[in-house]
Structure 1
């Protein structure tokens, strides 16, 4: 093949790659525009329904947003919002750490399963919110108790996904590492098993993060004097519906922002995995 033909082939391949890139960007922008357009439609319907409501049970979206801004810029920021986020993140980190450690142990040393299965299945079947009154009675209505209950709710998806991810590592990876790599079982676990199980562990962490926010709200609605859960419940009892809706909307915004942050961390941590799969995340 001549130099001219090689240059033409190279230029043709480059043009095709650029076309695919532009097409991918257009698709992402289209999906993003449709998503935000649907959100705008729902908020517009909320605004119209609120202005047409005569029972005062549904305030307009604009009124709720104004109240939300007042919450974020007022005393509630340090009195309710920050403590809630601190409890949720502390419980999530504690539950995630425990879930990964126990999940790796159960997945790697399968001889532990007969000893632990019955106890774990029983504990997993007990809803974490049902343990909250008992925990408050036993340990008091403290932040430590609430963080512990949040961790108890977040631990299960992480534990189960970690256990399954470790067990599903292909035997060929482990056999190859034993032949070509140096080190013992701990090194094999660190360099082969954990990286291969990371995608499923991240899936469990994503679910655990959502459960942490749910448990945060529930824990703050019982025997609590601060937090978003307490703020929403207090506003409902005082019939301050603008503030109640603003608290619920704020919870949704915080959950969305935390999900975006987690997704960014996940993309960075699993860049090798998506590249290997040929997926554009």
Structure 2
């Protein structure tokens, strides 16, 4: 009994320290963002007493955050929708359909997951420029779909492989074609995995800086993460305003995760254990 308690403490203490290390930066950022410049200079680590909300107003108005938010929302929603539709179709085909080259196709998808974006960055931007998609929503959407689709296809194929083929074969016997089986059987059964992948891909697209910085080179076309990164240059001596802008960007991610954390965990666990 005593050994069991000791083992629990040995697990609980590192996890508690990890939780503190994760939460502290957010608490620190909130505390600094609520200070005015004078209080920040005089006491950086102390708890704020001014609660200066004006920092958030300045970060939103002067950094054009409204425009950046709109750009990110448009690109993220469309990119995630395309990724989920294509990944669901490909996952169904790879896991339940037998056709020539299916195994090779799956290996190619796995191979693309191993290639860092930095390796293909130069030819990718050259291709985007040749296609005339620099500084366009289409260009950034194509970039996100091409980068995040392979992992989503792999995940959906792993999830769908846990669905017995007898179900899809019975649907075919009942008169459904491939589209009917996908729409009536695979999509409803794949909702947990699709929800998890939708949330994760939305976070990936929202958090991205490198791809968005390369494709969206015009200031008006920046996404919210690129815009908040530029705040550091605009306010080099006004850290509270800069951190207020960071919090404006991070807040939607925190809210989404708090709302959908169970779905994310359940979907990832299901995708990891099926196959």
CA separation of 1:41 and 1:138: change in aligned 2, threshold 3 A: closer
**Is the Cα–Cα contact under 8 Å of residues 166 and 193 in structure 1 kept in the other structure?**
yes
Residue equivalent to 1:126? 115
1:149 aligns with 2:143: yes
* 1:115 shift after superposition: 2.7
* 1:48 shift after superposition: 7.5
Larger relative contact order (C-alpha < 8 A, sep ≥ 6)? 2
**Is the Cα–Cα contact under 8 Å of residues 92 and 160 in structure 2 kept in the other structure?**
yes
Residue equivalent to 2:156? 162
* 1:198 shift after superposition: 2.5
**Is the Cα–Cα contact under 8 Å of residues 128 and 152 in structure 1 kept in the other structure?**
no
**Structure 2 gap ranges (5+):** 1-21, 268-275
Residue equivalent to 1:43? 27
* 1:176 shift after superposition: 5.7
**Is the Cα–Cα contact under 8 Å of residues 113 and 151 in structure 2 kept in the other structure?**
no
**Superposition RMSD on alpha carbons, in Å?**
4.2
1:199-221 Cα deviation digits (max 9, x unpaired): 22322222222211122x33333
Residue equivalent to 2:92? 104
* 1:66 shift after superposition: 3.0
Cα distance in 2, alignment partners of residues 206 and 154 from structure 1? 12
Residue equivalent to 2:55? 67
Q: How many residues align?
A: 227
CA separation of 1:243 and 1:108: change in aligned 2, threshold 3 A: farther
In our comparison, the structure showing a higher alpha carbon Rg is 1
* 1:132 shift after superposition: 4.4
1:197 aligns with 2:193: no
* 1:260 shift after superposition: 6.6
**Structure 1 gap ranges (5+):** 1-37, 271-281
Cα distance in 1, alignment partners of residues 119 and 54 from structure 2? 36
* 1:82 shift after superposition: 1.3
**Is the Cα–Cα contact under 8 Å of residues 128 and 139 in structure 2 kept in the other structure?**
yes
**Is the Cα–Cα contact under 8 Å of residues 132 and 149 in structure 1 kept in the other structure?**
no
Cα distance in 2, alignment partners of residues 208 and 245 from structure 1? 25
1:219 aligns with 2:208: no
Give the TM-score normalised by the residue count of structure 2. 0.63
**Is the Cα–Cα contact under 8 Å of residues 95 and 154 in structure 1 kept in the other structure?**
yes
Q: Which has the higher helix share?
A: 1
Residue equivalent to 1:229? 225
Cα distance in 2, alignment partners of residues 118 and 41 from structure 1? 40
**Is the Cα–Cα contact under 8 Å of residues 161 and 201 in structure 1 kept in the other structure?**
no
Deviates most, 203-212 or 129-138 = 129-138
**Is the Cα–Cα contact under 8 Å of residues 221 and 229 in structure 1 kept in the other structure?**
no
